[in-house]
Structure 1
Amino acid sequence: MSKKRQLLVDTALDLFYHQGVNNIGINEILKVSGVAKRTLYSHFESKDALLLAALEQRHNNFIDWLAKELKGADSQQQVIDQVFGGLEKWFTNQAEQLGRFRGCFFINTSAEFSDIESDVVKYCRFHKAEVKALISRHLLSKNHNLLDAICIMKEGAITTAYMTGQGVEVSRKSAEILKSIQ
């Protein structure tokens, strides 16, 4: 990937994640990145194409981070502890790979699109499916109800952390509840 293309993706991801997709225009991305408009359009045909590249980069970062958080988990309880312990780190800005916490980029982005069949919303659904698959690979039990509960409570903890700032408490309670229903 060229340096300028990467700079555009990095800049767009940061601006979109922290300020919202609809609040950021191409001119703001160009201004912050210092890249010329012609260069941007030589790499991306539209703002949505740039957004998809930013979503892909965030997806890769998140999956890599979550895989590291789950490494070594060899029991259901460890998977639960490591998922929700990792979330606590993210909520308190201690997950350097994910940067400053501002909720889920995929939930926030898809909420800005009314067309649920758009490529952007489809990519957000893909991300959620990949996260679920990664967690599933680490669970010893193939109890789909437990997997669904982990994923729903993970999403709830992320949303609660963003909306109320009480994610650490919710994360800890979620882990305890999940461990009791295995």
Structure 2
Amino acid sequence: MNEKKLVLIQTALQLFYSKGVNSVGINEVLKQSGIAKKTLYSHFSGKDDLVLATLQYRDGIFNQWFNEVLESEKSGEKSILALFYGLDDWFNNRVPELSPFRGCFFINTAAEYSVTDSPIRQYCRSHKQEIRALIKNKISLFIDDPKEVNTLTDMVFMLKEGAIVSALVEGNKNAGKACIPAVTRFLNLK
């Protein structure tokens, strides 16, 4: 990727994640990045195109981290528990590559776009579907019944999403760890 394009994406991501997409204008991105407007428009057709690029960039970073968390344990059950310990690390700013915690960039961005079939909302939805699939793959390692796999995937996914929202909205930095007793119970772990 072109170096200036990368700087624009990284700068925009940092600003959008910390302040919100609608609170940041193109001129602020240009000022912070030190890159000329002409260069920005040679890479992006407009702000929505830049927002999509930041979502794609964050998706790569987040998914790599998420996979590493899930793969940190060999058994499927333990990898699901690792997910909630990983959330605890993220909420408490112990995951440098995810930046200081400001909630889920995909939830935050989707909330700012009211048109449900916009490319931005579609990308956010696709990110969540990919995360759900990663969870489902781990659950499929220790549950054989497809219906039960789907039910458990929904439970784990919703707990994860709820923990993220609670950590942001309520400031509950222990929301990830607070899910562990429930996860332990429905996974029948000791």
TM range (shorter): over 0.9
Determine if contact 2:93/2:101 at 8 Å carries over to the other structure: yes
Would the aligned equivalents of 2:113 and 2:121 in 1 still touch at CA under 8 Å? yes
Q: For residues 9 and 106 of structure 1, what CA distance do their matches in structure 2 show? A: 15
Q: Describe how 1:79-98 pairs up with structure 2 within 5 A.
A: 79-98=79-98
After superposition, where does 1:6-155 map in structure 2 within 5 Å? 6-139=6-139, 140=141, 141=143, 142=146, 143-155=149-161
**1:108-145: per-residue Cα shift (whole Å, max 9, x none)?**
00000110110000000000001111122222225111
State the AA in 2 paired with 1:52.
L
TM-score, with structure 1 as normaliser: 0.96
8 Å CA contact 1:146, 1:178 repeated in 2: no
Q: Aligned partners of 2:177 and 2:100: how far apart in 1?
A: 20
Distance, in Å, in 2 between the alignment partners of 1:72 and 1:171 is 17
Instruction: Give the one of 172, 177, 181 matched to 2:182.
Output: 177
Correspondence for 2:172 among 166, 169, 173 = 166
Instruction: For residue 175 of structure 1, report the CA deviation from its aligned partner.
Output: 1.9
Measured in 1, the distance between the counterparts of 2:76 and 2:7 equals 40
Contact 2:80 2:138 in 1 (8 A): no
Q: Structure 1 residue 159: deviation in Å?
A: 0.4
3-state SS in 2 of match to 1:22? helix
Q: CA RMSD in A?
A: 1.1
Letter in 1 for 2:61: N
Q: Which runs of 4+ in 1 moved over 4 A?
A: none
Q: Which runs of 5+ in 1 are unaligned?
A: none
Number of aligned positions between the proteins? 181
Once the two structures are superposed, what CA deviation does each residue of 1:66-107 show, in whole Å capped at 9, x if it has no partner?
111111433343122210000000000001111110000000
Name structure 2 gaps, 5 residues minimum.
none
Identity of aligned residues (%): 44
